[in-house]
Structure 1
Amino acid sequence: MAQRCDICGKEPMYGHAVSHSKHATNRRFMPNINKRKIVYDGKKQKMNVCANCLRTLNKTS
């Protein structure tokens, strides 16, 4: 499953995991993606949706 939100386009971000000794190693910050069947643009579709968009859709419907 692609780690990309079909509504807002949120994707993984890159940064550093910093230990107590301040040694930085590369890491990915992954979005919270869920595969859901939702009504979007008047059609029921199976989409990859981030938790933030899912929350917004629940508030508006």
Structure 2
Amino acid sequence: MANVCEICGKGESSGMNVSHSNLKTKRTWKPNIQRVKALVQGEIKRVNVCTRCLRSGKIQRAV
């Protein structure tokens, strides 16, 4: 599954793991993407949406 929200475009972000001894290693943070049925322009489609967009009501879930 793609790690990109089709509504807001949120995707992976990168940074560093930092240990107590200040050693740094690269890591990524992935968004919480859900594949849901939603109303898109009057049609029911399956879309990849982040949970932030679902909670805020930016997309209407189909029943």
TM-score for both structures, normalised by structure 2: 0.84
1:20 counterpart = 2:20: yes
Runs of 4+, deviation exceeding 3 Å: none
Q: For the residues of structure 2 that align with 1:38 and 1:16, how far apart are their CA atoms?
A: 35
The farther-off stretch of 36-45 and 19-28 is 36-45
Q: For the residues of structure 1 that align with 2:41 and 2:5, how far apart are their CA atoms?
A: 16
> How far is the alpha carbon of 1:50 from its aligned partner?
0.2
Provide the aligned length of Structure 1 versus Structure 2.
Answer: 60
More helix by share: 1
> How far is the alpha carbon of 1:40 from its aligned partner?
2.6
Structure 1: stretches of 5+ with no match in the other structure = none
Corresponding residue number in structure 2 for 1:44: 44
Q: For the residues of structure 2 that align with 1:41 and 1:32, how far apart are their CA atoms?
A: 24
Write the deviation string for residues 6-58 of structure 1: whole angstroms up to 9, x where unpaired. 00000100100111111110000110100000113322110000010010127
- Superposed CA RMSD in Å reads 1.8
